[in-house]
Amino acid sequence: MYMQTPRGSCLRACVHVSAGAGKCVRAGVLLRRHRDRTSERSQRPGPARGSGCSPDRGDPLQDLRGQVLGDPLRRHHLRGLQGLLPAEPAEQPELRLQPPAELPHRPGEPQPLPALPPPEVPAPRHVTGRLLEPPTTSLVDIERLTQNVLKSHQETCQLHTDDLQLRRWETFSRDEVGAYQKKSTEEMWERCACRITEAIQHVVEFAKRMGGFMELCQNDQIILLKAGARAGAMEVVLVRMCRAFNSDNRTVFFEGKFAGPELFKSLGCPELISSIFDFAHSLCSLHFSESEVALFTALVLVNANRPWLQERAKVARLQGDLEVAFRLLLRKTHREGILAKLPPKGRLRALCSQHVEELQAFRRRHPGVLHTAFPPLYKELFASEAEPPGTH
């Protein structure tokens, strides 16, 4: 506590002085000077003594958060994470979904995506990778979100890492590869569509379990998962694919074994297959841990730049919290260097667009097959994107 000098302090000082009145006056002057200096010091802004904080440091928890975020985050939305997520185009094709009643649901399967709201959704307001308002979530809440995302990821992975590691050298024989190559284009497309649909169903379950996602409005949940079928859940599927990719022999887990690109020859789209394998190989080169895959896929999914969002600020806050969680994880493991090696901006979106273009070409060559043989969820997500103008 600061020293207080009541009005009688001069008199009490004079009692201890055995000299004359002059010494009492001098003592009173000194005490008045001391009281003036004490008063000026008490009026200066700063924390009370005993708080453990210097006047220019403030709250130590806020200081720790400032070391991670700092002013550059508010200006540049985590400068080290620029390019983490692909930028969205200014215009997006109209989103059309079939009513959910048309999607049959079998017990034990994840629920299909609900229908997109009617077209009165407001026009999109483009966000250029910047938070609409600075993040205010505490580090305790960030850690809670991190653990929730990791748990959701573990519970919704189709195969665990240990299983994949044990089977990574179980590849298709030459005869088995030849049998796949002899399959018709229609059958091979249908097989791949079924595998993609299964993976998307797991992504939907991941989103539903992820903290904050179900608190978004239903329209925004659908937009983030669908996003014109050129992003959203399909992007997450491509990122998750790196877990099932063996970069040593460039094979991916498919229908029980690891397969190289030659197994997919009968699809008739070698450029798409090559691009997907190249992407998986580049992502594997980062040697992602399961925690890093979990947070990165969450960030790919929660993107405030998606068009047609109704509560963009709410999505941006969740995205900002996930970015802080991702960077804190990398900081803790001394892996911040991988931020500069993440996929370049737009690469995931380009892969999704390439998939839709190949689906359009397949549909032109084999009319009617998509709607008669492909899974309902796959048709819901991609059929409207693959339909040429004037088909309705």
Pairing of strands 251-254, 257-259: antiparallel
By 3-state DSSP, what share of the chain in percent is helix, strand and coil, each rounded to 5?
60, 5, 40
The mean pLDDT of 311-317, rounded to a whole number, is 97
Confidence check: pLDDT of 66 > 50? no
The pLDDT value recorded for residue 380 is: 87
Confidence check: pLDDT of 387 > 70? no
More confident residue, 316 or 346: 316
CA angle 292, 293, 298 (to 5 degrees): 100
The pLDDT value recorded for residue 386 is: 52
pLDDT tens for 3-19 read: 444 444 443 333 343 34
Mean pLDDT over each residue of the chain, to the nearest integer: 75
Quick count: other Cβ atoms within 10 Å of Cβ 35?
Answer: 17
Confidence check: pLDDT of 222 > 70? yes
The mean pLDDT of 298-314, rounded to a whole number, is 95
Q: What does the alpha-carbon distance between residue 2 and residue 387 come to, in Å, rounded to a whole number?
A: 78
Confidence check: pLDDT of 268 > 50? yes
Confidence check: pLDDT of 378 > 50? yes
The pLDDT value recorded for residue 39 is: 54
Handedness of CA 319, 320, 325, 330 (dihedral sign): positive
What is residue 379's DSSP assignment?
I
Confidence of residue 229 (pLDDT cuts 50, 70, 90): low
**Which range (58-72, 214-228, 293-307) has the least confidence?**
58-72
pLDDT tens for 83-101 read: 333 343 334 333 333 333 3
Longest dimension (CA), the chain: 119
Amino acid (one-letter) located at 84: L
Q: What is the pTM of this model?
A: 0.66
pLDDT tens for 129-167 read: 343 444 578 999 999 999 999 999 999 998 888 999 999
The mean pLDDT of 115-128, rounded to a whole number, is 36
Looking at the DSSP assignment, which residues form a beta bridge with residue 259? 252
Element spanning 32, H or E: helix 21-43
SS3 125: coil
The mean pLDDT of 303-311, rounded to a whole number, is 93
Q: Which two tokens stand for residue 144?
A: 């809670």
More confident residue, 344 or 9: 344
Rank 37-51, 114-128, 297-311, 339-353 by mean pLDDT and report only the highest: 297-311
Confidence of residue 230 (pLDDT cuts 50, 70, 90): low
Contact predicate 309/220, CB 8 Å: yes
Query: For the chain, what percent of residues have pLDDT higher than 90?
Result: 56
